[in-house]
């Protein structure tokens, strides 16, 4: 069974507008972490934001926020005030376990969403 | 200088050839990973290593082997390359002792491999 599902192969947004990239996940482990990575056309993987399964508040990092709905098993990335440089592939990933020593730390990735920001 | 480096960055080879992709890191992390990325499929884990003496198969290890020569070096080998191994390959590192719950993986720049 697919553990990370990104249902939007491509998304378009106008510059300066907000956009939400969807991610749903599947796990029976009560302890897990959710990550979002950005991959620009140059190919590198850039870590954006993290949400732990026990975190009470939604994670935020600058213009990035994570809309974490635990009961629905969703972890959507919200990018506010989109910029042309936000055009890239975005990957949602999950780590089962709490990330401390002895944990798995293996990441399972979704298939990605290609975001295009229009001027 | 980059913390995680991969060599070569691009490689074209022929079916049946042996090829090695190398990864080096200066982050001092014990844990290292190899992923491949195919269009439309995201990243999939090939092998991972938690220290020099520990090697583990990932989701798609068939056709690959690895060597952890030192804490800082983790190599991926294709003993006999085939065209469906054409992909973008990433090395990554992480450190569970970093103290941060997020403990994200740090990725190298990737190696683009083409098998003809």
Q: What is the pLDDT of residue B99?
A: 56
- Closest-CA distance of chain B to residue A32, Å: 10
Alpha-carbon separation of residue B56 from B29, B43, B51, B100 (angstroms): 17, 17, 10, 24
Distance CA B65, CA B47 (A): 8
> Given an 8 Å threshold on Cβ–Cβ distance, is A101 in contact with B97?
yes
Would the pLDDT of A35 be above 70?
Answer: yes
**A62 CB contacts (<8 Å, ≥6 apart)?**
none
Question: What one-character-per-residue DSSP string does B29-77 give?
Answer: -SEEEEEEEETTTEEEEEEEEEETTEEEE-TT-TT-EEEEEETTEEEEE
- On whether any CB of chain B is under 8 Å from the CB of A91, the answer is yes
Per-residue pLDDT band at A96 (split at 50, 70, 90): confident
- Residues paired with residue A38 on neighbouring β-strands, in sequence order: A46, A90
Q: What is the pLDDT of residue B41?
A: 82
Per-residue pLDDT band at A72 (split at 50, 70, 90): very high
pLDDT digits (tens, 9 = 90+) for B7-66: 999 999 999 999 999 999 999 988 999 999 998 888 999 999 988 889 999 989 999 999
Distance CA B8, CA A40 (A): 20
Torsion region of A86: left, alpha or beta (phi above 0 gives left; psi -120 to 50 gives alpha): alpha
Q: Is-contact A69 A55, C-beta < 8 A?
A: no
Distance CA B99, CA B45 (A): 24
Q: What is the pLDDT of residue B95?
A: 82
Average pLDDT over residues A18-31: 94
pLDDT digits (tens, 9 = 90+) for B80-111: 999 999 999 999 998 876 655 667 889 999 99
- On whether any CB of chain B is under 8 Å from the CB of A102, the answer is yes
Task: Sort out which chain A residues have CB atoms less than 8 A from B55's CB and list them.
Answer: none
């Amino acid at each position: 069974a697919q553990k990370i599902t990104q249902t939007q192969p491509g998304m378009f947004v106008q510059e300066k507008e907000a956009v939400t990239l969807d991610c749903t996940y599947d796990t029976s482990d009560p302890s897990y972490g959710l990550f979002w990575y950005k991959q620009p056309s140059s190919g590198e993987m850039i870590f954006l934001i993290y949400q732990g399964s026990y975190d009470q508040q939604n994670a935020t990092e600058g213009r990035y926020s994570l809309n974490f709905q635990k009961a629905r098993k969703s972890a959507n990335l919200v990018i506010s005030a989109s910029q042309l440089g936000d055009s890239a592939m975005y990957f949602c990933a999950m780590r089962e376990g709490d990330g401390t020593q002895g944990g798995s730390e293996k990441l399972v990735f979704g298939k990605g969403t290609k975001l295009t920001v229009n001027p | 200088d980059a913390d995680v480096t991969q060599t070569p960055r691009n490689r074209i080879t022929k079916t049946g050839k042996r090829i090695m992709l190398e990864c080096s890191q200066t982050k001092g992390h014990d844990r290292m990973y190899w992923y491949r990325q195919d269009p439309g499929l995201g990243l999939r884990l090939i092998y991972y290593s938690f220290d020099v003496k520990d090697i583990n198969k990932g989701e798609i290890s068939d056709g690959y082997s690895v060597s952890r020569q030192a804490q800082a070096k983790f190599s991926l080998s294709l003993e006999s390359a085939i065209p469906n191994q054409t992909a973008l390959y990433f090395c990554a590192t992480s450190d569970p002792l970093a103290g941060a719950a997020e403990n994200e993986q740090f990725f190298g720049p990737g190696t683009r491999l083409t098998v003809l």
